[in-house]
Amino acid sequence: MKPLLFNKQLLKFILMFYFLASALGVLSAVLVRLNGFNTSFSWSRIIFSNIFNLTSKFVFLFLAILFTKYLISKKISILYSILIHTFLSILLSFYSTTMNTCLNKFVYQDAIDLNWQYIYIRSIANSGFNFFVYFSLITMVYAFYYFQNQKDSEIRRSNLTAQLLDSKIKALQSQLNPHFLFNSLNDISSLMDISVSRSQDAIADLSSLLRQTLNLKDVRYITLEKEIELLSKYIDIEKIRFADKIIHTIKIDPNISHNLVPPLMIQPIVENSIKHGFSYNHDIVKIEVIIKSNDNQLIFYIKNNGELLEHDENINYGTGLSNVLERLNTLYGNKFTFEMENSNNWVVTKIIIPKILQE
């Protein structure tokens, strides 16, 4: 909050309040005159007196509102604030009475004996009304700044949450890239004993893939189309090493390629399938990636026909899969599903995430 600046919204509200009160005051005075009261006063006096009365009150209240903002900025306690405003409401009554009395005596030349007793009696008589007017407006001011503070606090909390989320995502993605690079270089190192030319091709493909993945370090989401492109490049690198021992298919529902997903969400699962899928009984690993959608969700099935999971063991996800789980939890909270199980002699990983369309 900036104590020296007056909020434009509040100023508009107060001006609207003043003009409405002035209009109603003049209208009520006119209706009283039309019904046969105050006939000794001219129309101009009736209208001008009401406007003068409200304007003088408005000046006092406007200054009181500025002072109220100062009290709020200094975090004065409620008890002291009430005592201060009670005093100011009494002062308003004396101020308003004095202003109106001076108008009647010096402008309209009424026979008024201007003295302390006259001011005191009329001020006390009007104090109840002035107290109500003063506290009604000041209460609205306190309410306005209270809700403004609540809104500002909510925005600050939201910004802080977003900053923390970004920091966590960046940390997780910076963790994923070295892990991916380490595993890929291990694969290429193994390939060197088999074929130097194929190793060189793998290094070139890996360089291209890493260039693209490093560009994702500050990105929460990418399009599904981009995610599949990165996945395909990764599988092509693995196929340089394993040749025809990896068979893969990717099936995607139509018209969902522009939905947004976390970057490199599928690749660690496919990597895990290749790493753990090969065994004495499984020298060829088939990998299927199936992506479907409903009205609000994207549904991923990553399947491999390799070594099955053992039901009696706790699955050790390792760095890659743990990273995927943490990013999903950070981005979606409890609005995602991650399951890994055996189904009809296939290892099936199922992921369900909310559907987010590219803007």
Residue 31 to residue 5: CA distance in whole angstroms? 40
Q: Return the pLDDT at 293.
A: 93
Within 8 A by CB and 6+ apart from 177, the residues are 210, 213, 214, 217
Residues of the chain with pLDDT under 50: 1-4, 312
Mean model confidence pLDDT for the chain: 83
Residue 21 to residue 42: CA distance in whole angstroms? 21
Task: Evaluate whether 337 touches 324 at the Cβ level (below 8 Å).
Answer: no
Question: Rounded to 5, what percent of the chain is helix, strand, coil?
Answer: 65, 15, 20
Per-residue pLDDT tens over the stretch 91-127: 999 999 999 999 998 898 888 888 899 899 989 988 8
Q: Return the pLDDT at 97.
A: 92
Q: Return the pLDDT at 3.
A: 42
Q: Which two tokens stand for residue 282?
A: 């499984």
Q: Strands 285-293, 297-304: parallel, antiparallel or unpaired by DSSP?
A: antiparallel
Residue 266 to residue 289: CA distance in whole angstroms? 9
Burial class (CB in 10 A: 0-12, 13-18, 19+), 123: buried
Q: Return the pLDDT at 313.
A: 54
Q: Return the pLDDT at 206.
A: 77
CATH superfamily of 194-354: Histidine kinase-like ATPase, C-terminal domain (3.30.565.10)
Residue 345 to residue 339: CA distance in whole angstroms? 16
Q: Return the pLDDT at 174.
A: 52
Start-end of CATH 3.30.565.10 domains in the chain? 194-354
- The DSSP code sequence of 86-116 is HHHHHHHHHHHHHHHHHIIIIIS------SH
Within 8 A by CB and 6+ apart from 109, the residues are none
Residue 165 to residue 163: CA distance in whole angstroms? 5
Cα Rg of the chain, angstroms: 38
Q: Return the pLDDT at 315.
A: 67
- The DSSP code sequence of 143-183 is HHHHHHHHHHHHHHHHHHHHHHHHHHHHHHHHHHHHHHHHH
The whole model's pTM is what? 0.54
Q: Return the pLDDT at 339.
A: 92
Residue 285 to residue 308: CA distance in whole angstroms? 12
Q: Return the pLDDT at 208.
A: 78
Q: Strands 246-252, 285-293: parallel, antiparallel or unpaired by DSSP?
A: parallel
Per-residue pLDDT tens over the stretch 145-190: 888 888 887 887 776 666 556 655 555 555 555 666 676 777 777 7
Residue 262 to residue 255: CA distance in whole angstroms? 18
